Structure 1
Amino acid sequence: MTALDLFDHDLPGLERVFERWGEKRFRARQVMNWLYKKGVTRFEEMTDLSAALRERLGREATAALPRIAAEQTSRDGTVKLLLELADGERVETVLMPDDGRVTQCVSTQVGCAMGCAFCRTGTLGLRRHLTAGEIVAQVVVGQARMGPDRRITNVVFMGMGEPLHNFDNVVRAFRILSSDHGLNITRRRLTVSTAGLADRIRRLPPEMLGSLAVSLNATTDEVRDRIMPVNRRFPIQELLEALRESPLPPRDRYTVEYVLLGGVNDSPDDARRLVKLLSHVRCKVNLIAYNPHGDSPFERPRPEAVEAFRKILLDKNFTATLRKSRGEDILAACGQLKAEEGGTLGG
């Protein structure tokens, strides 16, 4: 019998487990308090539970965390952890401290099936989905690594994998992370990235839509087909239609991410087409200067091209930010994650 992974359950799910066991529903809240508020994973230390319940948890459940197989620290303070899962598979997670805030980038799959031409993770192919518990456990490990004085304040589902390809597990992990009984990270500080799975966007619960970051990265289907194979299934107009028709809460906005590839999608004409494409989408734009790596032929855009692109958006009253790259020297920046075999971190 497979052991019950406590990290894999939100409060309602864990309450149902305890009801089946003949226990009171409030036991679920007690267990989640131990796991997420006190950081205790040893059942014998959960002293407000009965001895019989602790014994049963020891027999039938687990609260095991992935092992830190390797660690690298960047010049800018970014920390990249290579985590070994229970079956020996490995994923990377990145911790980014900055001005009293700590953002953690978590993985949702071992590898990725999307095959984006500029992304290092895509060269792995898809090995398997992560469970909700394996996604949540990355944050528990990250919090333990940062220590009690440096709280994880923001979580971005932007590590290895396409989050919406692993839809059910990502939705459940989102709810655990944002729950008062989980890690209690407000929804406005959670971001779920997607390469543009329009059918899954339409299925997202409304409370997650304001946390959605859509990687557009091109303004024509010809270019997007070439750099993002998902576009052949969900072309740009179909993707934008899914965004417009989804029930985005009134005060929320999508984030449209745009990786600027030198000489590919960073021209003034691209910027003007982007303005036109997004004119009826409630969104802000996050520009990302491409982070080079050895597995890709693309080049970083010229700084003046980046500024000219951004100015066109700003002049049309778009909120357009330029993401600051973190951890490039340890291959921890956007698009650079790739958990290598043999115990070494990507790179």
Structure 2
Amino acid sequence: MVIAKARAVDGPDKSFRAAEIERRDLDLHDVLIEIKFAGICHSDIHTAHGEWGAVNYPLVPGHEIAGIVTDVGSEVTKYKIGDRVGVGCMVDSCGECENCVKGEEQYCHKGNIPTYAGVDKYGEPTQGGYSSHIVVTEEFVVSIPDNIELDAAAPLLCAGITTFSPLNHWGAGPGKKIAVVGLGGLGHMAVKIAHAMGAEVTVLSQTLKKKEDGLQFGANNYYATSDPETFDKLAGTFDLIINTVSAKIDLNAYLSLLNLDGTMVNVGAPADPLSLNVMSLIGHRRSFAGSLIGGIRETQEMLEFCAEHNIAPEIEVIAADEIDEAYKRVLSSDVKYRFVIDNSTL
């Protein structure tokens, strides 16, 4: 058993504190990872604040994990000590249902086991990447290509795969017009990836204050949604809209921007319900869909794609003592574009 240093929170209104947590002894197929960097995701904030339901505190969030293998179980075949690896939003699944067999473990019929705020197959609560070490079965560990720095790799394990998966599934590529709603941690990755796939990319943001960044990331166009003329000008334009924001928006207004058979995909997860008028869908055979991260195979594919196209998130590396302040800054959109914790500061 490894005693790991961590940062934990004891309630929805509590600050993070230094803590120690136990990591299980290695099972036959387990990998022990020394975590070098952990990204801060908006999901961490929702969960830590108890906005997605009851939480078993104390909680150690973090599902954007990059580190080094320091030990392996006796029957591990995929990894060895010294390998550069990552762990994303889930650490196990049933492995037997139709979706798991397809490599879509995120949609496991029995429910995947989340990296934190879940219960593992041993009946113990899962704790995440704001810690020095983690033990994960080798099937839920991915290899980080050598040309991706570990601090930049961390956000790819959630923000990267969360945007890559719907772009991949709905066929973003040459000849396709893609809109990305929001230019935050998820949105800036969606722009970079969609551009690398060869699509024409438009950013839809509340204001134009990040326009220069958006164009630098690969967007062809950038519009302010606070300008009512935007929705008139772009009506019926897009094949695919990726909505990355975790807040209530006027779905009907955005659906009007889709062309015939266009799809709007929600990857942001607001705490409050969204509503729409079905006439927004019926008129042009439009679809409204959701997408949840990606399977392990697709996550590895995403990492290889990012390595090939030199795609990395824009990050700000912080010390562990700065987590509370980072949460406040995320909520006020004061980050360009992803906070990453240097776990050596735990």
Same fold (TM over 0.5): no
Q: Which has the higher helix share?
A: 1
- More strand as a share of residues: 2
Give TM-score, length-normalised by structure 2. 0.31
Q: Tell which structure's C-alpha radius of gyration is larger.
A: 1
